Amino acid sequence: MSGSLGRVSAALLHLGRGVLLRGPARRTWSQTTERSSSSGGSGSGSTEYLDKLVKKDKVVVFLKGTPEHPQCGFSNAVVQILRLHGLTNYAAYNVLEDPALRQGIKDYSNWPTIPQVYLNGEFVGGCDILLQMHQNGDLVEELKKLGIRSALLDAKKDQDSK
């Protein structure tokens, strides 16, 4: 696992030119109004509640920690990829704050790991999938479908004009 994390970190450092980008996210789990540790009904682990969360914003990320302070390398990698594309305004939910949310989102997506990324209510994948989409240009296209212009397009345009 540490080999995968090392490759992800190396790829991000190469793509981001070694700069750690920091910036606030729109909302974190602790800022949501409806919190419950129960797994039934409208609690944080329920399908109904999670369905509302993933569809609430165009870009939603469930991670360990916060975008400002990720608590694992894979969550950090997802945050850095989104920042490379200029995204700082997205919904981010810290699964470490609520065990029901942590297990519930895994059950909801049928994906065993965190972080998890949703675009327009659709599950995209985790760190490995997002990194692959970033590398092959698919992430730029998916963001475009959401009406979000990737900052990488502007960076490329600036390089081409020099």
pLDDT value at position 104? 97
- Report the pLDDT averaged over residues 14-42: 40
Residue 3 maps to a domain? no
**Higher confidence at residue 96 or residue 34?**
96
Q: What's the total number of domains in the chain?
A: 1
- 53 falls within a domain: yes
Determine contact, residues 78/14, Cβ cutoff 8 Å. no
- Residue 88 belongs to a domain: yes
By residue range, what is the domain housing residue 140? 47-160
pLDDT at 82: 97
Percent helix, strand, coil in the chain, to 5, is 50, 10, 40
Percent of the residues in the chain that have a pLDDT greater than 70, as a whole number: 70
Is 65 contained in some domain? yes
Taking only the tens place, the pLDDT of each residue in 50-85 is 999 999 999 999 999 999 999 999 999 999 999 999
37 in a structural domain: no
Residue whose C-alpha is closest to residue 67's, from 31, 105, 13, 119 = 31
At 120, which CATH number?
Answer: 3.40.30.10
